[in-house]
Amino acid sequence: MSLGNSLYKNLKGDKVIWMIVALLSIISVLVVYSATEAIAFKYRLGNTESYLFKHLGTLLLGGFLLYLCYAMHYHRFKVAAPYLLVVAALLLIYTLVLGPTINEARRWIQVPIIGLTFQTSDFAKIALVLFVAREITRHKDYIKDFNKAFKPIIVPIIIICGLIAPSDLSTAIMLFVTTATMMFVGRVDLKYIGLLLVLGVVLFAFLILLGDLFPDLVRRQTWISRMREFLHGGGNEYHLEQFKMAISNGKVFGVGPGNSVIANTIPHPYSDSVYGTIMEEYGLFGGFVVLALYVLMFFRVGSIMTKSDKSFGALVVMGLGLSLVMQAFVNMAVAVDMVPVTGQPLPLVSMGGTSIMFTCISIGMILSVSKYVEKTNKNSKQANTDNESTD
C-alpha cells in the first residue's frame, strides 16, 4: 500500500490519463489473450501464450517509450518537428513506391535484420501534428497573412495526407480533420481553413480519378469499394452480421472472457474487430466502460489544453488527443454500422506493434505537457501564497 501511495505521489502529469492507460492496457491483455485462440490454432498449434507474451512485450516497450517521452521537456518536440516531418515524408514515399504489399495494401515497411513491420502513417501522424502546432505557434502574430502563416501549414498537410490517402484513406481523413481543427483552435483565418477543406476535397476526387484511370499506380482501391458498399449496400454484410451477433450474445454483462463466438469467425478479432470481441465477452457494460474511458481521455486532454499557458503545448495536446480519440470512435462506430469498414485499430487495446508504440508515444507527449502545466500552476499558486503572506 505504501509503495502504491509513493508511486501515486511521485507520478507527475495528469493522473487520470495515467489511470486510463493502465485500465486500457489491462483490458487489452484480457481481450487479446482470448481473441487469439483461432489464430493460435492455425499458426502456433494452439499456443495462445506465445501471442500473449508477444503482446505483453509490445505493451512493455510501449510503456517504456511513453515514459521516455513523458520524461522529456515538450519543447524538444518543437525543435525536432521539422526534421521528423521530412523523415515522415520520405518514409511515406518509400512505402508508397517500394513497400511490401500486405493485405492488399502498401502501408508498411520492414525494418532490416529484426524483420519488424513498421506502419509509416503512424509516425507521420505525430510528425505532422507537431509540425502544424509549431508553425501555428511561430506565425501566431501573422495568423491572417497568407504567405507567412498559411503556406507553411497547408502545404505539409496536403503533402502528408496525400501520401497516406492512396493506401489508407481513413487515416488520411482523420489526420486532415485533426490538423484543420488545430488551425481553427490556433485562430487561423476562417477563409484559409475553408480553402484547406476545398483543397482536401479536390485531392480526394483526384485520387479517385487517378485510381480509375491508372489502377496499377494507385494500387489500394479497397477504400473506394468500401465507401460504395456502405452507401449503396452489399459487401460488408458478413462483418455486420457478426458484430450484431456479438452484441446480441453479449447482452448486458457478456458471455465471459474466452467464451466469444465471433473470435473464431470474424477476421482480426484481436485488432480491427476487437470492439466486437469486447461487446460479446463483456456485454454492453464492457463496451460502455471502454467508450467512457476514451470520452474521459478527451475531457482530460481538453482540461490540459485550457490550463496550458503555452500555445505550442496546448496545440500538441489537442492534436494528439483528438487523433487518438477520433481513431477509437471510428473503430467502435464500425461495429454499429455508422461508418464504412476502415481497418483502424482501437488505440492501446488492439494487438499490434507499431500502433501500440506510437499510441504510447502520443500519450507520453501529452503527459509531458501535462507535467509542465502542473508544475507551472503549482509554482504560480506558491508565488501567490508567498505574496499574500508578505502583504
Domain boundaries, the chain: 41-71+232-368, 81-220
The residue assigned the cell 493485405 is 103
Rounded to an integer, what distance in angstroms lies between the CA atom of residue 120 and that of residue 110? 10
Predicted confidence at residue 339, as pLDDT, reads 73
Question: Sign of the CA dihedral 68, 70, 73, 77?
Answer: positive
Q: What pLDDT, in 10s, does the model give residues 307-330?
A: 887 789 999 999 999 999 999 999
Q: Which residue numbers in the chain have pLDDT < 50?
A: 1, 220, 386
C-alpha to C-alpha distance for 40 and 59, rounded to whole angstroms:
19
Question: Within 13 Å and on the Cβ side, how many CA atoms surround 186?
Answer: 36
- Return the pLDDT at 227: 57
| Alpha-carbon separation of residue 111 from 108, 116, 119, 359 (angstroms) | 10, 5, 10, 19
- At residue 113, the pLDDT reads 60
The pLDDT of residue 259 is 80
Task: Please answer whether residues 116 and 123 qualify as being in contact, where contact means their C-beta atoms are separated by less than 8 angstroms.
Answer: no
Spatial CA neighbour of 290 closest among 350, 352, 368: 350
pLDDT reported for residue 61: 92
Question: What pLDDT is attached to residue 216?
Answer: 59
pTM over 0.85: yes
Q: What is the structure's pLDDT at 138?
A: 86
Distances (CA, A) of 127 to 91, 242, 376: 12, 36, 26
Up-side HSE of residue 18: CA atoms within 13 Å toward CB? 15
